Amino acid sequence: MIDTATASVSEADAPVETLPFSPVYGPWPDRTSICHPSPSGKGSAIRFELHPARGRIAGHIFIEVARQKSVASVQGEVTTFATFDWENKICCKMGLGDLAQMMMVFRGMQESIQDGKGLFHRSAKANTVIKFSHQIEPRPGYMFSASCKPFDGELRAAFFVFHPEEAVWFSTALEAAMGVLVFGVPSASSPLENPF
């Protein structure tokens, strides 16, 4: 299920004209998310934010994972939806090599990234280990997990399991996005036909 409830009011109400625009493709949506709330409060959510290549700088996708913060409830005619702890999310900047590793898992070329060791990202503020694997038990799907240890804070961890149908649309979207991650969003000044 694609989640729009986690978007802020300003994002949800933003006019289409504020999206990145390509004369070839029109408005370019750059963010989507999936939420798996649980009645026990142990659910999670994942969010993807696309950043196309610009000039000679390759693009990337931010993948953010958050634990469930509160459970849904119904009191009379008032429904309160589950919320997720986006304030304490784990944010992973996934470059072309990282995303290619994920695609290899989706395509069945490997069961997990780096034989289960995952990817190691080091930034100025923290070390992050990112793992992605195909799983059969306890439920078929693909697990994305991240653990982050800030240099001045405590270890945080979160995971998200893609249901098979979510894996289909996300892997298809990821594959389609590779073009703009490498070459950027086509514009009128950069025609698609080969000039040679």
In this model, does residue 104 exceed pLDDT 50? yes
Domains plus CATH for the chain?
9-183 (2.30.31.40)
Which has the higher per-residue pLDDT, 3 or 143? 143
Confidence of residue 6 (pLDDT cuts 50, 70, 90): very low
- Alpha helices, DSSP H, located in the chain: 9-12, 96-106, 164-183
* C-alpha atoms less than 13 angstroms from C-alpha of 14 in its C-beta half-sphere: 15
Q: What angle do CA 133, 134, 135 make, to 5 degrees?
A: 115
**Mean pLDDT, rounded, for 166-191:** 84
Say how far apart CA 2 and CA 32 lie, in whole Å. 7
Mean pLDDT of 30-54: 91
Answering whether pTM is above 0.75, one says yes
